[in-house]
Amino acid sequence: MNNPGINLEIWERLRKKWTELEASGNKLKIDFQLISDANEEGNILAIDVIQNVNNEIITETVQRNAGEAYAALGIAELSVEQLIEVYKKVLEQLHRQSKQRDMDLIVTMTPSSATSGEIKGCFKKPDSDSEKSALVDYRHYYLLNAIREKMMTLAGDGWSKVKAIYRSGELEFYFDY
């Protein structure tokens, strides 16, 4: 793969993960989406590595430089409250497009390194174990990571995971160590 300045350790970790998954008999399909700066043609800011593992979609967003895309996405100077409002709109749009009206939309983001993070989305019926995987992209990673970073600055804590639950127009966040 042509590497546009992305950390090779991340690729090696992903390749090892895929090898182990396939060796365990898992069904695996990998796709890549390049995220480029709309203001600068050919400037690849990140790559979404979309991993379909046994029909569960896991997206790993891999940045070239930590936080570099915040300005390009227009979120660099936003407060926590503004980031939450922007993210709520992203979730509302995904929920509306999915037509899963009676289900909660749950998105988790776990940083894998300073320049990458794993994002999982699912629709889940309240009070049920029934889940349906949802495709989430770099916007979820960047917004959740920006919220996590700002919350860590405000609270002085070092959270390693953010979980957002969207239900009936309401948004809740959970931060894990």
Query: Considering the domain boundaries, does residue 3 fall inside one?
Result: no
Q: Along the chain (177 residues), what's the average pLDDT of each consecutive run of 10 residues? A: 66 92 94 87 87 94 87 91 95 88 91 90 88 92 92 77 90 87
DSSP assignments along the chain, one per residue? ---SS--HHHHHHHHHHHHHHHHTT--EEEEEEEEE-TTSTT-EEEEEEEEEETTEEEEEEEESSTTTHHHHHT-TT--HHHHHHHHHHHHHHHHHHHT-TTSEEEEEEEEEETTEEEEEEEEE-TTS--EEEE---HHHHHHHHHHHHHHHHHH-----EEEEEEETTEEEEEEE-
For residue 21, the model assigns a pLDDT of 94
Place of tokens 């770099």: 138
Query: Considering the domain boundaries, does residue 100 fall inside one?
Result: yes
Query: Considering the domain boundaries, does residue 1 fall inside one?
Result: no
For residue 1, the model assigns a pLDDT of 43
Q: 78-102, pLDDT tens digit by residue?
A: 999 999 999 999 999 999 888 877 8
**Domain extent for 172:** 8-176
For residue 43, the model assigns a pLDDT of 82
Query: Considering the domain boundaries, does residue 2 fall inside one?
Result: no
Q: How many domains would you assign to the chain?
A: 1
Task: Tell me the whole-structure pTM to 2 decimals.
Answer: 0.87
**Dihedral Cα 130, 121, 112, 161, nearest 10 deg:** -80
For residue 58, the model assigns a pLDDT of 95
Query: Considering the domain boundaries, does residue 124 fall inside one?
Result: yes
Tell me the pLDDT of the chain averaged across its residues.
88
Q: 34-47, pLDDT tens digit by residue?
A: 988 888 877 888 89
